[in-house]
Structure 1
């Protein structure tokens, strides 16, 4: 599958450098936290035994590997991600875990020259909210699916509904310069918070039978893993790479207390508020 030029240059730079490398290092932690969504997406997108599946924004490959096992040896799953470090890890995991019907490629789904009408299902676990032009991206993705093929993905709902996800940023805010007001139309974690917007994007991209349903999933993470996560990834992780040592110490000191309301028996437990989106090509 050859590829044309990528428009998502900022995302490509991010995921091929600091963020991609951090996700590689934290893969076991992240897969553990996101495991419930892996099951949700695989169940929603399962095309049947022997089916062919495309996983957009496959990351370190957990969802791709799970789907490859589900479709069996006569099926296959191809994972696509913009991050070379994550694709390299996913490829190695498939080899080590002996999942021969899973393969991985580096590419931007907005511009990738997919083979037309090739997949029974397209899935994604939090991998589709980052396109500069989501209509162009989902139009291109639709062309990769067979007529009547499935689309199934999860995306975060609003920050207000995901207070756990924004706890670290709120705790760190008093020690950092004022952050610009987020542009709800810009690519990012909460770019699909508006379910009506998601439906409009898919309609404009030629998908049909669109359903945007609320999915609330209980997640948990050990305290030590949580502190590693919030100081390495997300807006606080990015800020800590830029501030002086004294400011960094102030931020890391307040973080445990900020997460105290979520803690029980050494683990943070929280509700993850998402959309489960399904459609047909």
Structure 2
């Protein structure tokens, strides 16, 4: 496997990828509220060939494959641990037309024109060279093929912003300014940048639509705080703080989560951009 996005490959084949693979159901509970708008925008037909970019443990790939029952869905991801879980889940659920490949979407040798539609649930923000990545995805689509992607809006636009603000005094780096355009959760939070990048990659009819959805982080405030505190980016930042900070952060997370606990779950409102675009040059549909 050729890789240019080395930093992300290290993370997703290390602690972070392992944590997602081991807690796949919990991460799907966080993100699955966005599945319906994503798949509706993708307008997958029964004979379509679907590419799921940054598929993780494969929930979206499996859903797409079930809809494309006479076609199929291919998930690609950097993470070996997550792909092993994805393959196991597809086998357990009997989704035979879902396949998974390990690769860097920026340079992966996709078959040219091999797919009708590409989807991604919160994975496109981590490309080290997004124009190159989207151009490569575009080449994988047939002329007239389409994309439906989810990226995060600014963290402050969802409830997670309030939670992060509660722990920022203990972890200042959490809210420190990032280099413009640097790979990370908010790298495509600006619709203007989304348009610029996708246009430079050769796409047309680029549109960004705000979408909100509930995200379940745990059964109660204590459970949600422990889970978020074990999330890779938080764990990484805590590793750079003085001894004892972990306990302070956990206590602050518990208190920040309490207002969102109801009916056996902690639900935060998540804020995303639903991005759609078309590869020009052929018949369009959907």
Query: Which residue in the other structure is 1:194 paired with?
Result: 190
Displacement, 1:194? 0.2
68 and 20 in structure 1: CA distance in 2 versus 1, 3 angstrom threshold:
same
Q: Structure 1 CA distance, aligned partners of 2:248 and 2:122?
A: 31
Compare 26-35 and 237-246 and name the one that shifted more. 237-246
The runs of at least 4 aligned residues of structure 1 exceeding 6 Å deviation read: none
Q: Structure 2 CA distance, aligned partners of 1:250 and 1:47?
A: 46
CA contact (8 A) 2:226 2:250 kept: no
The alignment's TM-score, normalised by the length of structure 1, stands at: 0.92
Query: Which residue in the other structure is 1:247 paired with?
Result: 245
Which residues of structure 2 form unaligned runs of 5+?
Answer: 280-286
1:265 aligns with 2:263: yes
Q: 1:175 aligns with which of 166, 170, 186?
A: 170
1:150 aligns with 2:166: no
1:127 aligns with 2:123: yes
Query: Which residue in the other structure is 2:44 paired with?
Result: 47
Query: Which residue in the other structure is 1:110 paired with?
Result: 106
Displacement, 1:245? 5.1
RMSD: 1.8
Q: Structure 2 CA distance, aligned partners of 1:168 and 1:216?
A: 17
Which residues of structure 1 form unaligned runs of 5+?
Answer: none
1:194-228 deviation digits (Å, cap 9, x = unpaired): 01110111111111111111112233332254223
CA contact (8 A) 1:78 1:105 kept: yes
Q: 1:57 aligns with which of 51, 54, 58?
A: 54
The alignment's TM-score, normalised by the length of structure 2, stands at: 0.90
1:124-159 deviation digits (Å, cap 9, x = unpaired): 000111111101110010000000011001111112
SS at match of 1:140: helix
Summarize the alignment of residues 17-32 of structure 1 with structure 2, pairs less than 5 Å apart.
17-32=14-29
SS at match of 2:273: strand
Query: Which residue in the other structure is 1:274 paired with?
Result: 272
CA contact (8 A) 2:75 2:99 kept: yes
Compare 59-68 and 32-41 and name the one that shifted more. 32-41
Query: Which residue in the other structure is 2:283 paired with?
Result: none
Query: Which residue in the other structure is 1:37 paired with?
Result: 34
Q: Structure 1 CA distance, aligned partners of 2:87 and 2:259?
A: 39
CA contact (8 A) 1:117 1:147 kept: yes
